[in-house]
Amino acid sequence: MEPNNLSLGFYPTPCVPLMRLSKELGGPQIWMKRDDQTGLALGGNKTRKLEHLLHDALASNADTVITAGAQQSNHCRQTAAACAAVGLKCHLLLGGVEPASFNGNLLLDHLFGATIHFTGAERKGERIARIAEDLEKAGSRPYVIPYGGSNPIGASAFVHAAREVKSQLDELGLSIDRIIFPSSSGGTQAGLIAGARMHGLQSEIIGVAIDKEEAGDEPFAHHILAMANGTNRLFNKSDAFTLRDVVLRDEYTGGGYGVVGRLEREAISLTASLEGILLDPVYTGRAMGALIDIIRRGEIAKSEVVLFWHTGGTPALFPYASELVDSDSEFLGQRKGPRA
């Protein structure tokens, strides 16, 4: 695959131990890869993908980028910022209807100068082709980035991220048994699966599914598998993966995408109050909740080392304020006041 020379973030992102959370849970040692600190517009895993996607957009002489997501999409916010940084116009297709006031990621999309289309129940880019066609007719040269920035080009960024973390771990003299993170459009997982094998990272790669699968959808694991093999081909490696390489925990989808429950609230509260680190309500809160549950069930030996990949998303904390505070007194109260 061609070298990528578009830089939008600051790397390597830190890799840090979560000592107080590990101690509280009495389980394995937990480390965190801080991709919430990639540096572009409040950070997140999409910065990495966008370096490759916008490189491709510029190489194909596009002047406009179109992408899609939920109303509080981190991917759309990062895309809007990245387009601003390189001088591309940006059209976002966001689920839902226009709210009375803009907050969180939506506010930031607006500040970055993106053109926003509200698309109701269609938050996964169903209308992208139509809007691309309209823009073309009006004389633009649009470049379409799929929902979540997940295709082999976007996922290839996580092949490089696997190499990045491997060299950090080598420097620390640390070997990681498992890497766990939220998985939603699948590019992060596909790239890490491909990258781990290419760079000799021996960890189990575990995605925590964020979206409920709907009847008639292609099973998410199949989608990830196809993307991992497609990513491999970009690096001139032949198909190598099978479904056994796609480890997906799909029992934590709770009330569905973007619905905050007890699992997410406790994870956000524990990580904030014990580590001073913010998770997000939609993705990392759910994935950390899953990790905490898996540890409490005793599925991971105390002697193991686990890496939680913090994929970002913290700007969405603010629009979710009422779901995080009102019903949260059970967890907030627990941690009030100084602790030994």
Task: Give the residue with the Cβ less far from ligand PLP, 62 or 161.
Answer: 161
Task: Give the residue with the Cβ less far from ligand PLP, 185 or 269.
Answer: 185
Among 13, 45, 47, 269, which residue interacts with ligand PLP (rule: CB under 6 A)? 45
Among 43, 104, 125, 186, which residue interacts with ligand PLP (rule: CB under 6 A)? 186
Among 72, 74, 156, 273, which residue interacts with ligand PLP (rule: CB under 6 A)? 74
- Supply the angle between the helices 104-111 and 74-86 in degrees, to the nearest 10: 20
**Contact between 148 and ligand PLP (CB under 6 A)?**
yes
**Contact between 146 and ligand PLP (CB under 6 A)?**
no
Smallest separation, CB 329 to ligand PLP (Å): 26
Q: Specify the stretch interacting with ligand PLP by CB under 6 A; choose among 109-117, 193-201, 234-242, 310-318.
A: 310-318
- CA separation for the pair 63, 3 (Å, rounded): 22
**Contact between 258 and ligand PLP (CB under 6 A)?**
no
Query: Counting every residue, how long is the chain?
Result: 340
Task: Give the residue with the Cβ less far from ligand PLP, 9 or 186.
Answer: 186
Smallest separation, CB 70 to ligand PLP (Å): 10
Task: Give the residue with the Cβ less far from ligand PLP, 27 or 148.
Answer: 148
Give the residue numbers annotated as catalytic, written as ranges.
73
- List binders of ligand PLP among 164-183 (CB under 6 A): 182-183
Among 67, 184, 269, 271, which residue interacts with ligand PLP (rule: CB under 6 A)? 184
- Could you count the other beta carbons within 10 Å of the beta carbon of residue 210? 23
List the x/- string, 50-69, binding to ligand PLP by CB under 6 A. Answer: --------------------
Smallest separation, CB 48 to ligand PLP (Å): 10
- CA separation for the pair 321, 223 (Å, rounded): 33
**Contact between 231 and ligand PLP (CB under 6 A)?**
no
Size of the site for ligand PLP (CB under 6 A): 21
Among 280, 290, 306, 324, which residue interacts with ligand PLP (rule: CB under 6 A)? 280
Task: Give the residue with the Cβ less far from ligand PLP, 52 or 135.
Answer: 52
- Does residue 12 have a cis bond before it (omega within 30 degrees)? yes
**Contact between 187 and ligand PLP (CB under 6 A)?**
yes
Among 9, 27, 313, 319, which residue interacts with ligand PLP (rule: CB under 6 A)? 313
Where on the chain is the footprint of ligand PLP (CB under 6 A)? 44-46, 74-75, 148, 150, 182-189, 280, 283-284, 311-313
